Structure 1
């Protein structure tokens, strides 16, 4: 996609160096969660898989260990370098691409699976929809898109109570400090689960499942319909 003067600049919010990248490796069960997700997605040897917003590359490397041909994509050079270290440690080959949801390169109908975790919320809603349509175009008919992100499960009631509850949940359950939670709510672009679902189905996806962990996490399994199916 060619850049224009009106095009959203994904890199203006990167701001991630190698020190900050370490936060992506703080959860001891990351390997187990990646393996469980890939087992649920039934990844096969020879599949073409893209992990967009790959972070430290754990899921990408686990997919490669299953025999998939993996593109590990991230906007942050520091995180791509970390993903290469993880791949070397695990003796697997992954391809890295310095890009994001709006700029990753692809051949139409070429991927058997695309995964994106905790990346979509960096985009305003208009650009979320653009990203979803690009992912739809990159997938083979019948292929799956697995999305996890920070979403708001319910609409706020207009008082400070809900905002404080969301902040406290993140601080208590995910080891985030208050400043990072406040910055996210004020300056980033998390939206509501019902908005995400409508964007996904309008992009053409079939919504297989939506799992919400109140009040802040949503996990979605989508399928690109095969030829002749209704999307």
Structure 2
């Protein structure tokens, strides 16, 4: 059997400490947004939910408050510590797991809902596809995957024109400085919207909706078909 030394190491990009993690607390509407998303997704008491790349745990704790059994998964110990603190403060129970999209533990066909927000872009495209396959396998047939991520809405020949516009939008609307946008463009692995869409369908998902409401942002609602349904 081959050794696993060829497998992508998600934690190579780990470096998020508590100071950086605190940036995730700065949006006052995070609770309202999490509640709206989970309500739209129809979360019910007793559902088994995974939040992969859970960050400070706002969405995970909100799902737990709705009665779901929640696995809050992140590769950052600092983020998981924040999630644990938030869960204690809100008197809800979550299970934290130190893992990522390529390493989270799961039983096949076990989750009623999986959510991942702004984590997938950290992986190169080959490993994005591996991660999506793992998520597909972890979901119960008929269940949903809710994905929000940073994607490029356009074509490669428009990069020079588009990048400055993307940077300006992110700086003005998301409180990022120009250096963080430059670092993302140069060193991270966001891909084109049409590439992500193909990856999702090739993984087996049905696309319920794909929303590109802002430059660099894609929101996808995906469904794992039941046996006998076409993907």
| TM-score of Structure 1 vs Structure 2, range by shorter chain | over 0.9
Q: Which moved more, 1:108-117 or 1:5-14?
A: 5-14
Counterpart for residue 194 of structure 1:
194
For normalisation by structure 2, the TM-score amounts to 0.97
Q: Please give the per-residue CA displacement for 1:157-208, whole angstroms capped at 9, x wherever unaligned.
A: 3563321111111111100001100000000000011111100000000000
Query: How far apart, in 1, do the equivalents of 2:149 and 2:159 lie?
Result: 24
SS of 1:71 mapped into structure 2: strand
Q: Please give the per-residue CA displacement for 1:74-127, whole angstroms capped at 9, x wherever unaligned.
A: 000000000000000100000000000000000000000000000000000000
Query: How far apart, in 2, do the equivalents of 1:156 and 1:180 lie?
Result: 21
Structure 1 unaligned blocks of 5 or more: none
Counterpart for residue 230 of structure 2:
230
Structure 2 unaligned blocks of 5 or more: none
| Count of paired positions | 230
Tell me whether 1:207 sits opposite 2:207 in the alignment: yes
Counterpart for residue 157 of structure 1:
157
1:123-162, aligned counterparts within 5 Å? 123-158=123-158, 160-162=160-162
SS of 1:185 mapped into structure 2: helix
Counterpart for residue 65 of structure 1:
65
Counterpart for residue 87 of structure 1:
87
Tell me whether 1:118 sits opposite 2:121 in the alignment: no
Query: How far apart, in 2, do the equivalents of 1:68 and 1:3 lie?
Result: 37
Query: How far apart, in 2, do the equivalents of 1:159 and 1:98 lie?
Result: 36
For normalisation by structure 1, the TM-score amounts to 0.97
Taking structure 1 as reference, are residues 159 and 34 closer, same or farther at Cα in structure 2, changes over 3 Å only? closer
